[in-house]
């Protein structure tokens, strides 16, 4: 199971159009990523809500096709 | 999720002030993310209950529905879902984790 970096970015961008996204493939195996996401849509939301917005944008792939995606959210 | 699974999960959360749903045990974590959270709690000398989701497939899937959170580990403090690995790590680094422990009356190592 693996997922392409561009695909992750596309999904997040669809849900959070204004987001600045920086994704790193940590192990080079298409399975362990780290993403820093900045969006104005995070303003006023708790960290849990912010991370849920990112998870939801991935439409159930998190924890399935996508094994590991470390998320860091920032309000902009 | 069936009622039995829900009750088991609820019982873990209700009966442990600090409850960590994780892969493996605090002494033998089976995943780096679970190990990271477990270690942060150990460093802070927080007494916690680790629930090994690998021992029970229905809890492993059930907890994701229960919390509406797709990944493991998941940390509960006084029945409140606090976060997964990324959030706990951030809170550990910026001091918010100590603050929440303090506010909820959980013993931890103070500097």
The ipTM (two decimal places) reads: 0.88
| CATH number of the domain within which A49 lies | 3.30.300.90
Residue ranges covered by each domain of chain B? 3-103
CA–CA dist A30, B13 (Å, integer): 34
Residue range B70-111, pLDDT digits in tens = 999 999 999 999 999 999 999 999 999 999 999 999 999 987
How many domains are contained in chain A?
1
CA–CA dist A19, A46 (Å, integer): 17
Residue range A8-58, pLDDT digits in tens = 999 999 999 999 999 999 988 888 899 999 999 999 999 999 999 999 999
> Chain B interface, mutation test: which of A47, A49, A53, A73, most B Cβ atoms within 10 Å?
A47
Q: Which residues of A34-53 are buried (b: 16+ CB within 10 A; e: fewer)?
A: ebebbbebbeeeebbebbbb
Q: Which residue range(s) make up the domain with A35?
A: 5-75
Indicate whether this model's pTM tops 0.90: yes
Q: Which residues, numbered 17 to 76 in chain A, qualify as contacts with chain B under a Cβ-Cβ cut-off of 8 Å? A: 47-48, 51-52, 55, 60, 62-63, 68, 70-72
CATH of region B3-103: 3.40.30.10
Across the interface, of A47, A48, A62, the residue whose CB is closest to B70 is: A62
CA–CA dist B76, B30 (Å, integer): 19
CA–CA dist A21, A10 (Å, integer): 10
């Amino acid at each position: 199971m693996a997922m392409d970096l561009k695909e992750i970015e596309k999904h997040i961008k669809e849900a959070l159009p204004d987001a600045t996204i920086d994704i790193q493939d940590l192990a080079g195996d298409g399975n362990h990523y780290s993403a820093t996401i900045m969006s104005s849509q995070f303003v006023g939301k708790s960290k849990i809500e912010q991370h849920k917005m990112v998870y939801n944008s991935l439409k159930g792939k998190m924890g399935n096709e996508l094994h590991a995606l470390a998320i860091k959210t920032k309000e902009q | 999720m069936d009622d039995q699974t829900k009750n088991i999960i609820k019982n873990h959360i209700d009966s442990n002030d600090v409850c960590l749903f994780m892969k493996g045990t605090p002494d033998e974590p089976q995943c780096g993310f679970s190990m990271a959270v477990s270690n942060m709690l150990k460093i802070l000398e927080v007494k916690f209950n680790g629930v090994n989701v690998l021992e029970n497939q229905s809890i492993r899937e059930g907890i994701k529905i229960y919390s509406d959170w797709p990944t493991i580990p998941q940390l509960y403090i006084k029945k409140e879902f606090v976060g997964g690995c990324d959030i706990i790590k951030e809170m550990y680094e910026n001091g918010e984790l100590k603050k929440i422990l303090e506010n909820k009356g959980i013993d931890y190592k103070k500097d």
